[in-house]
Structure 1
Amino acid sequence: MTVTAAGPVAPLGAHELLVFLLQVGVLLSLAFLLGRAAMRFGMPAIVGELCAGLLIGPSVLAHAAPELSAWLLPQDGARMHLLDAVGQIGVLLLVGITGLYMDLGLVRRRGVTAARISIAGLVVPLGLGVALGFQLPGSLVPGGTDRGTFALFVGVAMGVSAIPVIAKTLMELRLLHRNIGQLTLSAAMVDDIAGWLLLSVVSAMATTGVAAGDIGLSLGWVAVVIAAAFLLRPVVRAGLRATARSRDNGATLALVAILILLSSAATQAMQLEAVFGAFVCGIMINSCGVLNAERIAPLRTVVLSVLAPLFFATAGLRMDLTALADPTVALSGLVVLAVAVVGKFAGAYAGARLSRLGHWESLALGAGMNARGVIEVICAMVGLRLGVLSMEMYTVIVLVAVATSLMAPPLLRWTMARVEHTAEEVLRKEMYEGGPAHRPQSDGAPGRPAEQVAASSRGTAPAAPADQPGHPGESDPGGPPD
């Protein structure tokens, strides 16, 4: 066998580098400006960040200034992949940081509730989406595509929730310390696991058919990831303690980022999607009980202020709203949006009420889980790549993703204003904003131990052990992530 040595890969050309830097600079500038403008109108910054990509994408700039659009955003897969890669790093770190702020004690105590809400919140919109897929006009179904596969793809897209969008919305509205915020993330995690498995099944149907062995393998990999998180926790805890001895936060931040990215790579290799690995890794680091918010604050600031906005801005670049000029597409889009919203609200509400939650709490859960965001965009891109979705249907589904993400913040603010704070939420907020007590981490739960909660309710606060490690949010002068 003859082995031919390949020459070194040429570095990025000067022109390509210039275009890439301009892409990042322009997108980030628009995301920042529109995000601030959205906040002035009482909306979270994510609203403006999602609109940034729409402005310079094919929806606006390509029609207003086609030559500038072709120069700034050339139809070259290699160049667009550079921009996508930066955005992917941002969303993975965002999801990992979200896991760092999960209240594991609440998840354990209300795991059955989260599962019940998630199942109902997935099955109802999935069923409605499949039924709608069989009724949509034939012009939206690509030629040669089986109508059943198309309908299943629409159902999966209607059923998913988006942890990145939900997480950033909860952070910006400062609802992460609320029980509903924690429960929404827990239910969304279960929802996403099921959604990715369903997406893999429907994708298989569109290509080679469904094999029971493939489904079993995917479920087996989920079990492997969870088991690996438990087995590797002592090693991770030792590494975090070693870096925590340094006065410089750099080693700790680097280790956290490395762990999140490698975990993402592992689950991506298992075909379970990278965001799943990032979220599990964040939870694992959280359960180690070594970090406090002061140490991870620089990483959180960079992710929430730079990388995450850039990712959300890139979400609108592949969307062309001019397709809605066709009355059939526009009407179909409104019907799909209505079915998606009603299905998710009805499912989450029913699951919450079955779990004996109140009316406003149930509505708040529906409002949070209704945000599809980039997860639905990914589903749409998979469908477009496999030829299951037409370009018009792709635009409709992405529009639903953006619309539901924009709906979540005002609905959450409205519903949560009618949900009373509990003593547990007050204590958790104090902890996030730098409360004096540090909780022991023997159980991995982010709440203070029962004796500290009881003492706090009596007006006394037992001193925390001097050598007790902190937790994300305990000594954070800036409060929870925003």
Structure 2
Amino acid sequence: MSAALSAAPVPTLPAHTLLVLLLQLAVLLLLAMALGRLAARFHMPAIVGELLAGVIVGPSILSHVWPGLADWLLPKDTSQMHLLDAVGQVGVILLVGLTGMELKFDLVKRRGTTAMRVSLAGLLLPLVLGVAMGFLLPKALIGGDTETLVFALFLGVAMCVTAIPVIAKTLIDMNLLHRDIGQLTLSAGVIDDIVGWFLLSIVSAMATVGLTTGTLVTSLLYPVGLVLAAYFVGRPLVSLALRAANRSESAAPTVATAALIVLLGAAASQALHLEAVFGAFVCGVLVGTSGELDKEKLEPLRTTVLAFLAPVFFATAGIRMDLTALVRPTVLLAAVAVLAVAVLGKFVGAFIGAKMSGLGRWEALALGAGMNSRGVIEVIVAMVGLKLGVLGPEAYTIIILVAIVTSLMAPPILRLAMKRVDDNAEAEMGLTGPGDPQLAPKQPASV
């Protein structure tokens, strides 16, 4: 057998396949960079421009304007597109890992029960409304032979997530990060992020292996087991690895170690039939909370991911959008309904949580605006749903639209609300305790 293997080695990548891949990456990166900067110039999240890059070269525009070029650049060959997907998947795994590294758990401790109330109310209401909406939407939006219950649960998860990177960037741009409302929004978002990733892993497991009693049990136990293993076994190993990497003055060992930990976590999660991004997030948190991490040495990894891999991922996400589907009245009505549920659920939920904590209506409105930003996380959830076959192309397009619209809504509503919030009102309502410092974290990496 060994002779047979040596006589027939694995063939190398065909020259034309490599050429197409390189041009795909070059075109998507160029458009994503240009449109991302254009979006930022108009005070919009860069992700809007990066998604639009994929929309331009995808079925929404280029396939109609220049079908020959579209077919050459994005051929229907599955193996060719899988290569582009692989680059995007590495990008999103490292992006999620970086997100976990940058979560600030001290914010949650400082804001305590107020952050918890706002977060849970802003998470549970859109989750329930999203699940109910999943049962009401046309069956045509469900991918393949997916169970309606799984689709409904997945839609609920998509409705309840929030996007820390977009929130933080918006607060920085508006000079609100040092304000107590800004800090409370971020701390509530951290809780939403953690719960959202956990729910995504559970629903993804259900979609992968089907709905049975055993599946439901393992879908709950596997994520819990992974988190416990990461905490009790992974945490000391991560600290040991980072301590060894810190002995070098160069940033290279720290970058390689952090990336390795995230990739291994993603692989472990994938092996358990959970989504790879869940393991990446858990291991990112391990790296970020380790006392051995020198965060300045992570800058090269952050730059590579945010300047190259993440824009390519978002552009590939845009490729799979088909805006022409919105011409059909059924799909358009479904899009309006899902967007309304997403926005209403977050605003009302956050408003209820804020009022329960004794905050005023304008403070509650500001919190709702911040928590309503879906951005990066929503796009990742949508890509997971499409990959698992839970979402059809139309449902995928609708969820990406929710990510874009909610991210665009945040700045103007925040600006309106914060004009009516007195600088001293937050302290008077108990958001700031004696000696509680006003933090001014650095601008987050992923925007």
Unaligned runs of 5+ residues in structure 2 are 427-431
How many Å separate the matches in 2 of 1:306 and 1:234? 32
How many Å separate the matches in 1 of 2:173 and 2:91? 16
How many Å separate the matches in 2 of 1:410 and 1:126? 25
* Aligned counterparts, 1:389-468, within 5 A: 389-412=391-414, 415=417, 420=423, 428-429=439-440, 432=441
Are residues 145 and 78 of structure 1, via their aligned partners in 2, closer, same or farther at CA, if it must alter by over 3 Å? closer
Higher mean alpha-carbon deviation, 250-259 vs 7-16, is at 7-16
* Equivalence for 1:233: 235
* Equivalence for 2:296: 294
How many Å separate the matches in 2 of 1:261 and 1:150? 28
* 8 Å Cα contact 1:162/1:376 also seen in 2: yes
For residue 306 of structure 2, what is the amino acid of its counterpart? L
How many Å separate the matches in 2 of 1:78 and 1:12? 11
**Counterpart check, 1:265 vs 2:276:** no
* 8 Å Cα contact 2:150/2:390 also seen in 1: yes
Instruction: Using the TM superposition, give the Cα deviation of residue 138 of structure 1 relative to its aligned residue in structure 2, in angstroms.
Output: 6.1
Are residues 99 and 143 of structure 1, via their aligned partners in 2, closer, same or farther at CA, if it must alter by over 3 Å? closer
How many Å separate the matches in 2 of 1:417 and 1:260? 41
For residue 50 of structure 1, what is the amino acid of its counterpart? L
Higher mean alpha-carbon deviation, 224-233 vs 112-121, is at 112-121
* 8 Å Cα contact 1:199/1:379 also seen in 2: no
**Counterpart check, 1:191 vs 2:192:** no
For residue 193 of structure 2, what is the amino acid of its counterpart? M
* Equivalence for 2:16: 15
* Aligned counterparts, 1:57-456, within 5 A: 57-110=58-111, 112-137=113-138, 140=141, 151-162=152-163, 178-197=182-201, 199-200=203-204, 203=207, 208-211=210-213, 213-231=214-232, 232-373=234-375, 375-377=377-379, 380=382, 389-412=391-414, 415=417, 420=423, 428-429=439-440, 432=441
Instruction: Using the TM superposition, give the Cα deviation of residue 129 of structure 1 relative to its aligned residue in structure 2, in angstroms.
Output: 2.8
* 8 Å Cα contact 2:93/2:263 also seen in 1: yes
Higher mean alpha-carbon deviation, 259-268 vs 123-132, is at 123-132
For residue 428 of structure 1, what is the amino acid of its counterpart? L
For residue 23 of structure 1, what is the amino acid of its counterpart? Q
User: Deviation per CA, 1:132-186, whole angstroms, max 9, x where unpaired?
Assistant: 3444456656898766665455444333445665577667778777523531431
Instruction: Using the TM superposition, give the Cα deviation of residue 235 of structure 1 relative to its aligned residue in structure 2, in angstroms.
Output: 2.9
For residue 326 of structure 1, what is the amino acid of its counterpart? R
Instruction: Using the TM superposition, give the Cα deviation of residue 378 of structure 1 relative to its aligned residue in structure 2, in angstroms.
Output: 5.6
| Secondary structure of the corresponding residue to residue 428 of structure 1 | coil
Are residues 95 and 147 of structure 1, via their aligned partners in 2, closer, same or farther at CA, if it must alter by over 3 Å? closer
* 8 Å Cα contact 1:49/1:309 also seen in 2: yes
**Counterpart check, 1:49 vs 2:60:** no
Are residues 410 and 187 of structure 1, via their aligned partners in 2, closer, same or farther at CA, if it must alter by over 3 Å? farther
**With structure 1 as the length reference, what TM-score do the two structures score?**
0.77
Higher helix share: 2
User: Deviation per CA, 1:101-123, whole angstroms, max 9, x where unpaired?
Assistant: 22222234446555544433333
Instruction: Using the TM superposition, give the Cα deviation of residue 20 of structure 1 relative to its aligned residue in structure 2, in angstroms.
Output: 0.6
Instruction: Using the TM superposition, give the Cα deviation of residue 33 of structure 1 relative to its aligned residue in structure 2, in angstroms.
Output: 0.6
Instruction: Using the TM superposition, give the Cα deviation of residue 309 of structure 1 relative to its aligned residue in structure 2, in angstroms.
Output: 1.6
Unaligned runs of 5+ residues in structure 1 are 433-472, 474-478
User: Deviation per CA, 1:207-233, whole angstroms, max 9, x where unpaired?
Assistant: 74331x333323322333332333332
How many Å separate the matches in 2 of 1:226 and 1:155? 23
For residue 71 of structure 2, what is the amino acid of its counterpart? A
RMSD: 3.5
**With structure 2 as the length reference, what TM-score do the two structures score?**
0.82
How many Å separate the matches in 2 of 1:417 and 1:295? 39
Are residues 416 and 34 of structure 1, via their aligned partners in 2, closer, same or farther at CA, if it must alter by over 3 Å? farther
For residue 393 of structure 1, what is the amino acid of its counterpart? A
Instruction: Using the TM superposition, give the Cα deviation of residue 358 of structure 1 relative to its aligned residue in structure 2, in angstroms.
Output: 4.9
For residue 121 of structure 1, what is the amino acid of its counterpart? G
Are residues 336 and 362 of structure 1, via their aligned partners in 2, closer, same or farther at CA, if it must alter by over 3 Å? same
Higher mean alpha-carbon deviation, 38-47 vs 353-362, is at 353-362
For residue 281 of structure 2, what is the amino acid of its counterpart? F
* 8 Å Cα contact 2:370/2:410 also seen in 1: yes
